[in-house]
Amino acid sequence: MTDCLFCKIAAKEISSSVVYEDDLILAFKDINSVSPFHILIITKEHYRNILDVPDEKLINIMKAIKKIAKEYNLDESGFRIVNNCGNDGGQEVDHIHFHMLAKRSHSWPPG
């Protein structure tokens, strides 16, 4: 999608701090981190939100999350995955992304 920030990041037209990449997925540091470890996991292909991602492609995001958790030694300490969907979910960038937050304890419920 031409005017999408995360499509431009996926295409490397806008720089980001990449922590994981494969053919379908890119994960990069959130520019406004709220945790010591705060990354965004996106599909390289543009989908507006989780409802638009084909079921068979959702698993690629989950697989990437598991790989990142192992690579960054988060399997013992744990982490939080957040997907903000639509207005009430607080989604600001309309390109599917999961936040992955770690390296501190996270309270519940969120605001």
Question: Would you tell me which residues interact with Zn ion (CB under 5 A)?
Answer: 1, 4, 6-7, 46, 95
**DSSP 8-state assignment for residue 89:** H
Q: Does 32 bind ligand AMP (CB under 6 A)?
A: yes
Angle at 104 between CA 98 and CA 44, to 5 degrees: 20
Output the smallest distance, CB 31 to ligand AMP, in A.
4
* For Zn ion, the closer CB: 35 or 84: 84
Question: Are the C-beta atoms of residues 26 and 42 closer than 8 Å to each other?
Answer: yes
Question: Are the C-beta atoms of residues 97 and 40 closer than 8 Å to each other?
Answer: yes
Residue 94's nearest CA partner among 57, 58, 42, 56 is 42
Q: In what helix (H) or strand (E) does residue 55 lie, and over which residues does it extend?
A: helix 55-71
Q: Does 30 bind ligand AMP (CB under 6 A)?
A: yes
84's contact among ligand AMP, Zn ion, none, with CB below 5 to 8 A by partner kind, is: ligand AMP
Q: Does 16 bind ligand AMP (CB under 6 A)?
A: yes
1's contact among ligand AMP, Zn ion, none, with CB below 5 to 8 A by partner kind, is: Zn ion
109 φ/ψ angles, rounded to the nearest 5 degrees = -85, 160
Which residues in the 49-108 window bind ligand AMP by CB under 6 A? 84, 90-93
Instruction: Provide the binding-site residues for ligand AMP, judged by CB under 6 A.
Output: 5, 16, 30-32, 40, 84, 90-93
